[in-house]
């Protein structure tokens, strides 16, 4: 008899009851339907304009037809008005009522340096930095997610007659460069028409550089953007470069300059060590005296090669001139310290790379110099070499200083990657996000360390959630009862704006209703991300993860919105979503 009772209890407790519309939704319906049982297209239009902040030209009739079609799955309707349930379903539909716009709407005609660019690090690695396979698969995956900067480390193969992509001085299995290039050509524009930048970590001899030039030209043909002048005085715009491939690496002449500066190969290590505090070197994981190879533009290779001196920007080095001609975004480590590196040179733009710690250190005393540098030039930030497990760092420090290429390991997951994905949900997910005006002001250069007044206030109301019973097994969160969900909401952005709050937990409910409001004062709203996470409370163990998303505050649509949630890797869950309200004042 006892077991029968337990079984009854089990079925009863797992039944999912549909939550009724929150009071705010009922109130909005009453107000705009003017107390009647139905809301007409004109009444819906008033609601969309006045409560949801839509433009006066919104086509309410088309929206109404979409709602009725989605809800009732019939082509012809006998009525042309919404019930309260239709209205609630519309508001709670992530397809019909999303929290941000899904179209490109930023000005795309400014130089590349005016944009944050979705940037990958060691884009060819399938897993950790030391032992995982190199492959074109993660490159394809990144491009399909809208990543616009792909990094390839290129090395001679064992017989020195071909080029491999691998993470140097580790035991990662190589992949042929040509295979990676062909996959880039095939998938470059599947998610976005805007340019793909290939950053090459070059460890090649001049003859192999010439071979790479041939590979690039043959693979990409007219897609390849080749600058007319050796040195650009301003980068072209994403609009001008639509469907183009751009190469960025250190020109061959840089190796000679490094050799001259550091003396012969035997003295090289001494020369490198003296730069350690400036450039943020990381010890290699393999031997104590090997430097981590992931030094972006700072790597100096094959110094036993005799390179011709090439100080003149317009001259051609005999070291693979064809290769040099293809480099549109020139990289390199200038002589001298950080102050010298951040100099803005008239008539010349370039790319500088810093490790995450080098940026943090530079930010202490050169914050405004970095911002000024990034108004015209490109700054790439990359993870420190000790992140062997392909983890990431906080991207905010780079963005607050105007760094366009905050390079991330896309194959892992975690909160840092959620923030990166959140930033690039902006501007229709095209991989280019226009930097806010505060970072482009020449007269009063933005100081990331300055104490600023509150500029805007964001109010967020978390009404309810739904969809878990569709996407998860009944026993996923708890073996014997429905889940106890709570939501965490907060801000990632300028240090003064960062905070996390949470709702109370809602016990034993697959469709939790919280109805809790939070207020976030923002000093730099332009760079703020709204962080949203749902967890399931577990008394005895770590709370279970139940979904997350990050949304750019500058893109939030005001009013009551459906917010779709993603899994740990950033993939959208099929049905899970929250009903929330956003107000920005």
Closest alpha carbon to 513 in 17, 14, 2: 17
> DSSP alpha helices (H): ranges in 401-539?
415-423, 437-440, 468-471
Catalytic residue among 88, 114, 121, 535: 121
H helices within 426-495, ranges in order?
A: 437-440, 468-471
**122 and 167 in contact (C-beta within 8 Å)?**
yes
353 DSSP β-pair partners: 380
Q: For the chain, how far is it from start to end, CA to CA, in angstroms?
A: 61
Buried b (16+ CB within 10 A) or exposed e, 375-393: bbbbbbbbbbbebeebbbb
Is the separation of the CB atoms in 67 and 96 below 8 Å? yes
Nearest to 419 by CA among 543, 534, 570, 242: 570
Q: φ, ψ for residue 232 (rounded to 5)?
A: -75, 140
- Interstrand relation of 351-355 and 378-382 (parallel, antiparallel or unpaired): parallel
Q: Is the four-CA dihedral 240, 244, 248, 252 of positive or negative sign?
A: negative
Does residue 221 sit in helix, strand or coil?
Answer: helix
Q: Which of 4, 100, 93, 91 is nearest to 48 (CA)?
A: 91
CB contact at 8 A, 147 and 119: yes
User: Catalytic site residue 469?
Assistant: no
Distance CA 335, CA 340 (A): 7
Contacts of residue 478, Cβ cutoff 8 Å, sequence gap at least 6:
484, 536, 538
Structure tokens at 452: 């600023």
User: Is the sign of the CA dihedral 364, 370, 371, 374 positive or negative?
Assistant: negative
- Indicate the burial class of 157 (C-beta count within 10 angstroms; 0-12, 13-18, 19 or more): middle
**Is position 167 annotated as part of the catalytic site?**
yes
Tokens found for residue 342: 């951040």
Q: Is 334 left (phi over 0), alpha (psi -120 to 50) or beta?
A: beta
* Cα-based distances in Å from 367 to 364, 370, 376, 403, 410: 6, 5, 15, 11, 27
Query: Which residues have C-beta within 8 Å of that of residue 15, sequence separation ≥ 6?
Result: none
Residue of 167, 203, 366, 535 with catalytic role: 167
Residue 362, classed as helix, strand or coil, is helix
Give the C-alpha separation, 348 to 121, whole Å.
26
Q: Which residues are catalytic?
A: 121, 167
């Amino acid at each position: 008899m006892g077991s029968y009772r337990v079984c009854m209890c089990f079925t009863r407790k797992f039944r999912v009851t549909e939550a009724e519309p929150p009071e705010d939704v009922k109130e909005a319906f009453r107000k705009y339907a003017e107390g009647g049982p139905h809301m007409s297209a004109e009444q819906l239009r008033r609601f969309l304009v006045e409560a949801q902040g839509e433009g006066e030209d919104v086509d309410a009739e088309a929206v109404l037809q979409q709602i009725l079609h989605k809800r009732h799955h019939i082509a012809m309707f006998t009525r042309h008005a919404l019930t309260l349930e239709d209205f609630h379903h519309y508001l709670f539909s992530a397809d019909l009522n999303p929290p941000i716009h899904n179209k490109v709407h930023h000005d795309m005609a400014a130089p590349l340096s005016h944009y944050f660019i979705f940037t990958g690090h060691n884009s060819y690695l399938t897993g950790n930095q030391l032992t995982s396979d190199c492959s074109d698969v993660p490159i394809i995956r990144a491009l399909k997610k809208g990543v616009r900067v792909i990094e390839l480390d290129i090395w001679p193969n064992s017989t020195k007659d071909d080029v491999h992509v691998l993470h140097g001085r580790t035991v990662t299995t190589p992949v042929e460069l040509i295979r990676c290039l062909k996959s880039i050509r095939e998938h470059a524009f599947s998610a976005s028409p805007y340019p793909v930048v290939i950053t090459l970590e070059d460890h090649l001899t001049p003859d192999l550089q010439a071979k790479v030039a041939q590979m690039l030209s043959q693979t990409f043909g007219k897609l390849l953007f080749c600058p007319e002048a050796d040195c650009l005085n301003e980068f072209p715009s994403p609009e001008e470069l639509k469907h183009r491939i751009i190469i960025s690496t250190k020109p061959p002449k840089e190796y000679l300059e490094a050799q001259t500066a550091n003396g012969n190969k035997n003295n090289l290590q001494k020369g490198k060590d003296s730069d350690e505090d400036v450039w943020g070197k990381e010890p290699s994981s393999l031997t104590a005296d090997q430097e981590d190879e992931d030094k972006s533009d700072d790597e100096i290779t094959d110094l036993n090669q005799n390179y011709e001196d090439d100080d003149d920007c317009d001259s051609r080095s005999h070291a693979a001139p064809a290769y040099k001609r293809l480099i549109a975004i020139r990289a390199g480590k200038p002589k001298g310290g950080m102050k010298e590196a951040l100099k803005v040179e008239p008539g010349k733009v370039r790319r500088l790379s810093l490790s995450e710690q080098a940026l943090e250190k530079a930010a202490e005393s050169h914050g405004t110099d970095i911002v000024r540098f990034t108004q015209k030039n490109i700054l790439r930030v990359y993870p420190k070499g000790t992140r062997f497990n392909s983890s990431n760092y906080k991207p905010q420090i780079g963005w607050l200083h105007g760094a366009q290429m905050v390079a991330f390991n896309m194959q892992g997951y975690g909160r840092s990657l959620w923030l990166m994905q959140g930033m690039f949900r902006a501007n229709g997910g095209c991989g280019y996000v226009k930097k806010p005006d505060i970072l482009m002001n020449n007269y009063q250069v933005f100081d990331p360390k300055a104490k600023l007044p509150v500029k805007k206030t964001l109010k967020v109301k978390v009404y309810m959630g739904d969809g878990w019973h569709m996407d998860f097994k009944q026993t996923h969160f708890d073996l014997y009862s429905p889940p106890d969900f709570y939501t965490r909401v907060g801000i990632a952005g300028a240090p003064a704006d960062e905070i996390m709050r949470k709702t109370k937990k809602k016990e034993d409910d697959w469709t939790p209703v919280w109805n809790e409001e939070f207020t976030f004062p923002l000093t730099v709203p332009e760079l703020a991300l709204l962080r949203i996470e749902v967890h399931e409370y577990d008394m005895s163990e770590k709370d279970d993860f139940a979904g997350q998303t990050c949304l750019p505050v500058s893109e939030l649509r005001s009013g009551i919105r459906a917010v779709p949630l993603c899994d740990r890797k950033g993939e959208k869950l099929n049905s899970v979503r929250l009903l929330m309200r956003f107000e920005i004042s």
